[in-house]
C-alpha cells in the first residue's frame, strides 16, 4: 500500500487583538491537509472518513470554493483586478480550482492541490479559513488561496498568485477585506496574509490592518502528523466535535468583547462594503442595494 501524501496537522491557534482594547486567546485544534487527488483513496482506507457521503468525518466537494454559484457584489466594483466569467461548475473541487487558475494563466495540468481545512464533523461544518496550496507538474507551489468563512456561512476567497511568492516557500498579500468577519472589525480594513507551504510544520499568519496600524493578529502553527485510521480515531476523542467547539469559542469571545463594551456594528449597516463573496446572508442579499453578480468571478488579489 503506497503512503499517503495527505496528512494531519496538530496546531495551536492564537488570536490577539491590540485595539481598541487588548484581548487574547489560544486554543488547540487539528486540521487535515487533503491532497485532493487522494480523496477517493482516503474514502477507501479510512473507516471514519467519507468523500461526498455521510460519516464521522465527511468531505463534500460542494462545501468549498463554490465558483459555479452567483458572486455577491452590490456595487459592481471588484475588490481586486478584473477577472474572467465565473466557472461553469465542474463537478470536482480540484476541477474548479484548476479552471480558476487557468483564468489566471496558471497551468495546473499534471499538478496537485493540497487543501488545509476541516471536513464536516458529525455532519457539522465550520472553517474560519481554509487554505489551498497549488502545485504544478514540477512540484512547485505556484499559487495559494485563502477561503474565509464567517459565522453567517458566507464565503470569500482571496487569491495569492505567483507574484506574491517570497523565498520560494511563502506567499504574502495585503488586500482590502470587504467582508464581515466580526462585529468588532470594520469591513473597510485590510487583511495581511502570510502563508507558508506546509511541510513538516504548518505556519500561517493573518493580520488585520487599519491603515498602517495592526489591530489584530491570528496565527496557526503546528507539526505534521501521519494520517491513519488509528490517529483519526484518537483525534476524534482528543478533539471532540471540533467544528462545533470552534464556533462556540468564537461566540464566547465575542460575548466577552461585547461585555467589555467594544464598539461594534451590525452586518446590514455596511452591506455595500461587503463584496465579491459567495452565499450572501439574507441581511445583505435582500437589501435594497444588494445584487448578486452572475457575470464575474473576481477574487481579490491586489495589494492594498
Cell of 48: 471514519
**Residue 84: domain span:** 7-293
In this structure, is residue 299 part of a structural domain? no
In this structure, is residue 164 part of a structural domain? yes
pLDDT reading at 269 higher than 90: no
In this structure, is residue 239 part of a structural domain? yes
Cα 154 to Cα 181: distance, rounded to the nearest angstrom: 9
Higher per-residue pLDDT: 253 or 203: 203
Cα 39 to Cα 62: distance, rounded to the nearest angstrom: 14
In this structure, is residue 271 part of a structural domain? yes
- Pair 155, 147: CB distance under 8 Å: yes
- Pair 120, 98: CB distance under 8 Å: no
Cα 62 to Cα 263: distance, rounded to the nearest angstrom: 36
Mean pLDDT for 240-249 is 95
Confidence of residue 283 (pLDDT cuts 50, 70, 90): confident
Q: Picking from 22-26, 213-217, 266-270, which range would have the lowest pLDDT averaged per residue?
A: 266-270
In this structure, is residue 301 part of a structural domain? no
pLDDT at position 297 is 45
Q: pLDDT, tens digit, for every residue of 46-89?
A: 999 999 999 999 999 999 999 989 999 887 655 543 333 455 45
Confidence of residue 264 (pLDDT cuts 50, 70, 90): confident
Q: pLDDT, tens digit, for every residue of 146-186?
A: 999 999 999 999 999 999 999 878 999 999 999 999 988 88
Cα 276 to Cα 298: distance, rounded to the nearest angstrom: 6
Mean pLDDT for 182-211 is 95
Q: pLDDT, tens digit, for every residue of 91-141?
A: 799 999 999 999 999 999 999 999 999 999 999 999 999 999 999 999 999
- Neighbour-count burial of 159, counting CB atoms closer than 10 A to its CB (0-12 exposed, 13-18 middle, 19+ buried): buried
- As for how many domains the chain has, the answer is 1
Average pLDDT for the chain? 89
In this structure, is residue 304 part of a structural domain? no
* pTM attached to this predicted model: 0.91
Q: pLDDT, tens digit, for every residue of 8-45?
A: 999 999 999 998 889 999 999 999 999 999 999 999 99
In this structure, is residue 154 part of a structural domain? yes
In this structure, is residue 205 part of a structural domain? yes
Amino acid at each position: 500500500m503506497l503512503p499517503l501524501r495527505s496528512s494531519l496537522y496538530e496546531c495551536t491557534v492564537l488570536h490577539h487583538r491590540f485595539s481598541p482594547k487588548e484581548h487574547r486567546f489560544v486554543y488547540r485544534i487539528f486540521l487535515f491537509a487533503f491532497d485532493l487527488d487522494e480523496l477517493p483513496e482516503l474514502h477507501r482506507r479510512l473507516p471514519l472518513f467519507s468523500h461526498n457521503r455521510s460519516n464521522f468525518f465527511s468531505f463534500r466537494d460542494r462545501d468549498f470554493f463554490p465558483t459555479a454559484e452567483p458572486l455577491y457584489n452590490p456595487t459592481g466594483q471588484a475588490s481586486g483586478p478584473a477577472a474572467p466569467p465565473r466557472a461553469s461548475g465542474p463537478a470536482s473541487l480540484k476541477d474548479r480550482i484548476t479552471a480558476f487558475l487557468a483564468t489566471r494563466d496558471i497551468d495546473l495540468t499534471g499538478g496537485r492541490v493540497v487543501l488545509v481545512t476541516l471536513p464536516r464533523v458529525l455532519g457539522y461544518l465550520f472553517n474560519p479559513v481554509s487554505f489551498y496550496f497549488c502545485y504544478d507538474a514540477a512540484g512547485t507551489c505556484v499559487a495559494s488561496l485563502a477561503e474565509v468563512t464567517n459565522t453567517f456561512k458566507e464565503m470569500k476567497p482571496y487569491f495569492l498568485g505567483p507574484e506574491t511568492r517570497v523565498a520560494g516557500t511563502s506567499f504574502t498579500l495585503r488586500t482590502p477585506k470587504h467582508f464581515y468577519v466580526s462585529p468588532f472589525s470594520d469591513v473597510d480594513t485590510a487583511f495581511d496574509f502570510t502563508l507558508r507551504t506546509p511541510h513538516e510544520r504548518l505556519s500561517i499568519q493573518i493580520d488585520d490592518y487599519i491603515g498602517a496600524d495592526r489591530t489584530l493578529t491570528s496565527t496557526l502553527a503546528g507539526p505534521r502528523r501521519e494520517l491513519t485510521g488509528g490517529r483519526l480515531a484518537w483525534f476524534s476523542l482528543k478533539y471532540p466535535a471540533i467544528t462545533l467547539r470552534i464556533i462556540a469559542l468564537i461566540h464566547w469571545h465575542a460575548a466577552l468583547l461585547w461585555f467589555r463594551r467594544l464598539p461594534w456594528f451590525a452586518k446590514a449597516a455596511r452591506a455595500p462594503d461587503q463584496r465579491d463573496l459567495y452565499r450572501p446572508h439574507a441581511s445583505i442579499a435582500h437589501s435594497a442595494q444588494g445584487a448578486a453578480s452572475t457575470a464575474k468571478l473576481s477574487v481579490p488579489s491586489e495589494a492594498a
